[in-house]
Structure 1
């Protein structure tokens, strides 16, 4: 009987020790946040979100995560009062055992789930993390999860007032086929113009969609020697030259690397289907991940970098789309087929919206400015963002060099006039400067360490 009681006692002690061993701290790594962002991108590709809508999907979850970090880490400053209409997030109840990094990732996943269609894919990823965290420390996990969901609800309420829902019910864009200067749907799918009301979305940092209104494009003219005709002829001539060389052409490699068109349609006989690609904003989010990894950024700085960059990207799309549907300029492909060569095709498939200004140029200008502000100028990196889509790594000496290449890629692709590229890049950089100069997200001490 004594042996039995002693055995029971030993087992009880072992179980108690075992339980004690399990209940430790929950450590959240930057890689887990990167994986959450990657999962969102994977789902967005599956769900085929337009580039402007994708930028919104990045911004809100990052803001929710960042505000939790800023509440806990004195090196970071809240966006309350800096981002349009954002009120302070609720503070947690006193004495709760909250892990703020767990709460930040919970908020990020919850808001991301609300913004995509394939919620079950996000839930599967979320539940896998929840399972790990819960086994490490149930009480900390429960408190952190509850708080993260509370912040997600707060940010979600603010998010739902940005006019996005209203734009879903607004009329489609009307094509004026009688006006030779106006945009017309392009082959092969001849899709309607996407997001014609995006300028009605509430901006994040800029004052209004019109704040960085660019100079108008050259006056439309098909007379040889006119500024506009020279712009058109250059697109045709560049396209002819690089397609003669073929896929070995550096220009074609650049065009394909920066394509980022989620609406590419492939025709096989009577069958038409879409190929899966990321958006231009997602490409720059990928560069943000590369930069964080290269600098061994901790969890909090990683969220800071994603948030600042995604805010610049989101406002860049609002600014660019405002101009696109104001100038409503016809694409080079349409005019070249009508007036120069009816068999000509661009290297890239023309995306379904007006030409001026170039979205890649505006977004790349804004994103590169934000990233330069975070990681410094002359920040060399290897961009492997497109390897998942069968494209090789490209190397850059700075974010600005990458932005320049992304912009000119649209000329090589045959889908933009040079003026849309150059003016668009300036538009994006001016907007990016405004964002970084008007947001105070870090203390002076922390900003100095970031720049160094």
Structure 2
């Protein structure tokens, strides 16, 4: 009996030592983790109500950090050093450490995102759940990967601090010129100040300057019949009358609402005013990037590459567009129509609080469509379910260009842009997109 007990005891010792000597499991990182992190950022952006230009900044820096970490081992994608304005190499990896670069990339992505939002606890909750799982799987690999990720985060914070964003927070508000009838005026129902009037002072990522893709001037302001400007004004009014005559069932209204992407819509009910929140135009195209990445079964490197290059183009598109908006400072259709044609007229979409020319949707959609076409190819059919959380149905597109054209014309259907802002904005965005796609062929 004692001999048997001894054998069992020795067997248990062998099992314990064998299990202790077994190598810890390697932590696996899937593309879905990056989609999950992006989705969480979108949720927080909606909650925190970031303006479209600021939202573009929140997307781009985490993506760049993740991309640069993965570029350390990639045979397909090269570093952005020498391509991005003012960007220097991230810290080197200590090869004596057990650093999982894919793990470091997602950790850095989430940590930088948390630094750019208000509701940090919403990102921390995602981080904490993942950190617990990773630490249980392989504590050494997790700890050393996290330590490297935070080195990159510190590096990125220094880069971010030099983009002039903090300085623009202290600059003067936009001054409304009420003596000039062509100049932008705050619009109902909230009559908000013009947002981000100094966004053209943000450091571009690839552009030489905010003025590099300055569009052609809009038609000269005039309320005389027969002039180009008056014709475009009346087109906005007449189109809205036509597409609403049979109620809210027209295809044009469906298009306008699908591409609304207004982060803050004021709703008045009696004496109460509240806001309905949605994603920004740039976030919609980040959502399309996710759809394309999933459809093509992109791996981690390919997924981060798509997010990074698309978000860079979107960020530069906002800088370019906002430069023109506050230079031309053009009045919105709603103001002129109410003052001169029909005091009771309302656009289908709520007019956003910034000047009219050029259309932000057009510029951003044009730029994003070019870069996505460069990555995934033309004639890329996809089902866009980005707006499902906001009660809007899926729309199908035969290509990214097809989607960008619809996004642009949606602003006419919505009653918030003249045709020149739409067509010239799309040209501006596509020209910028081709420039960026060429620069990003790494």
Q: Could you say whether these structures have the same fold, taking a TM-score greater than 0.5 normalized by the shorter chain as the test? A: yes
Q: 1:94 deviation in Å?
A: 2.4
CA spacing shift, 1:123–1:28, aligned 2, 3 Å: same
Distance (whole Å) between structure 1 residues aligned to residue 175 and residue 248 of structure 2: 37
Matched residue, 1:264: 265
Q: Secondary structure at the match of 1:266?
A: strand
Matched residue, 1:116: 117
Distance (whole Å) between structure 1 residues aligned to residue 269 and residue 12 of structure 2: 68
Matched residue, 2:392: 391
Q: 1:6 deviation in Å?
A: 5.2
Matched residue, 1:304: 305
Q: 1:247 deviation in Å?
A: 1.9
Q: Which moved more, 1:265-274 or 1:248-257?
A: 265-274
CA spacing shift, 1:70–1:225, aligned 2, 3 Å: same
Alignment of 1:49-448 (within 5 A): 49-441=50-442
1:41 equivalent in alignment to 2:47? no
Q: 1:155 deviation in Å?
A: 1.3
Normalised to the residue count of structure 1, the TM-score between the two structures is 0.95
Distance (whole Å) between structure 2 residues aligned to residue 228 and residue 332 of structure 1: 11
Distance (whole Å) between structure 1 residues aligned to residue 342 and residue 219 of structure 2: 22
Q: 1:440 deviation in Å?
A: 3.1
Q: Secondary structure at the match of 1:72?
A: coil
Distance (whole Å) between structure 2 residues aligned to residue 96 and residue 247 of structure 1: 61
CA spacing shift, 1:2–1:425, aligned 2, 3 Å: same
- Note the alpha carbon deviations across 1:332-367, whole angstroms, 9 max, x for none: 000000011000000000000000000000000000
Residues 224 and 230 in structure 1, CA contact (< 8 A), matched pair in contact too: yes
Q: 1:145 deviation in Å?
A: 0.6
Q: Which moved more, 1:175-184 or 1:289-298?
A: 175-184
Q: 1:74 deviation in Å?
A: 1.8
Q: Secondary structure at the match of 2:264?
A: coil
Residues 30 and 302 in structure 1, CA contact (< 8 A), matched pair in contact too: yes
Matched residue, 1:31: 32
Distance (whole Å) between structure 2 residues aligned to residue 414 and residue 8 of structure 1: 82
CA spacing shift, 1:76–1:185, aligned 2, 3 Å: same
Distance (whole Å) between structure 1 residues aligned to residue 333 and residue 14 of structure 2: 78
CA spacing shift, 1:233–1:69, aligned 2, 3 Å: same
Residues 22 and 136 in structure 1, CA contact (< 8 A), matched pair in contact too: no
Q: 1:9 deviation in Å?
A: 4.5
Distance (whole Å) between structure 2 residues aligned to residue 112 and residue 98 of structure 1: 21
RMSD over aligned Cα atoms:
1.3
CA spacing shift, 1:3–1:89, aligned 2, 3 Å: same
Distance (whole Å) between structure 1 residues aligned to residue 334 and residue 370 of structure 2: 31
Structure 2, unpaired ranges of 5+ = none
Q: Secondary structure at the match of 1:292?
A: helix
Q: 1:10 deviation in Å?
A: 4.5
What is the aligned residue count?
A: 441
Distance (whole Å) between structure 1 residues aligned to residue 18 and residue 254 of structure 2: 60
- Note the alpha carbon deviations across 1:200-249, whole angstroms, 9 max, x for none: 00000011000000011111100111111001000000001111122210
Q: Which moved more, 1:88-97 or 1:207-216?
A: 88-97
Distance (whole Å) between structure 1 residues aligned to residue 10 and residue 241 of structure 2: 85
Distance (whole Å) between structure 1 residues aligned to residue 55 and residue 12 of structure 2: 55
CA spacing shift, 1:10–1:188, aligned 2, 3 Å: farther
Matched residue, 1:447: none
CA spacing shift, 1:410–1:23, aligned 2, 3 Å: same
Distance (whole Å) between structure 2 residues aligned to residue 10 and residue 255 of structure 1: 72
After superposing on structure 2, the runs of 4+ consecutive aligned residues of structure 1 that deviate more than 3 Å are 1-22
Residues 246 and 252 in structure 1, CA contact (< 8 A), matched pair in contact too: no
